[in-house]
Amino acid sequence: MSEAFDPVRVGIVSVSDRAATGVYEDKGLPALKDWLSRALKNPIAFEPRLIPDEAERISAALVELVDAGCSLVLTTGGTGPARRDVTPEATLAIADREMPGFGEQMRQVSLKFVPTAILSRQVAVIRGESLIINLPGQPKAIQETLEGLKDEQGQPLVSGIFAAVPYCIDLIGGPYLETRDEVCKAFRPKSAVRPPRAA
């Protein structure tokens, strides 16, 4: 059945000094891989990276993943106000264009849970034909910002950012991403919706 959907290469980057040096087990990469595998119908080739909080290494990894053909690159960690939190700076340093709406919406979602969401500095950018998004560091927060909030009937209360990702990737020349509605319903204008294909 997967042949009916465009394949996609996704870079997933966990930024953490302690996880990179083995002080504790990284939870960011498994959380990203799990959520994307549930949300997307497309066959996914993951390109994982676990790196310390060093701006030059983060920037280099992002460039490497874009050059490797990743249409989407998601980072987790390193977006707070602490001195070692440099993921946003490293991301902006290699950007062609910034997409501020993603960071704005992530903070809106997180503010439903914690007042400290205003301390987060996540950014999203485009480099070439790739969308790069900084996500929070905790697995629960990753899911919340990607998926949004739903009521008891499963209806959206606050939109997660991933609803806008497939159409953004359409616009920058990437593959046609198709989501599982029960996890995250992608939004596209009617003119951009591709008719269903036979599996």
Scan for tokens 């992530």, then name that residue. 106
Scan for tokens 């790069």, then name that residue. 132
Amino acid code (one letter) for 32: L
Q: Quick one: three-class SS letters along the chain?
A: CHHHCCCEEEEEEEECHHHHCCCCCCCHHHHHHHHHHHHECCCEEEEEEEECCCHHHHHHHHHHHHHCCCCEEEEECCCCCCCCCCHHHHHHCCCCEECHHHHHHHHHHHHCCCHHHHHCCCCEEEECCEEEEEECCCHHHHHHHHHEEECCCCCEEEECHHHHHHHHHHHCCCCCCCECCCCCCCCCCHHHCCCCCCC
Q: Which fold has domain 2-192?
A: Molybdenum Cofactor Biosythetic Enzyme; Chain A (3.40.980)
In contact, 145 and 125? CB cutoff 8 Å? no
Q: What is the pLDDT along the chain (199 residues), one digit of tens a residue?
A: 445 899 999 999 999 888 878 778 899 999 999 999 999 999 999 999 999 999 999 999 999 999 999 999 999 999 999 999 999 999 999 999 999 999 999 999 999 989 999 999 999 999 999 999 999 989 999 999 999 988 887 777 888 999 999 999 999 999 999 999 989 999 999 999 988 765 5
Is the whole model's pTM more than 0.75, yes or no?
Answer: yes
Q: How far apart are CA 38 and CA 10, in angstroms?
A: 14
Q: List the domain boundaries for the chain.
A: 2-192
Q: Which residues pair with 40 in a beta bridge?
A: 179
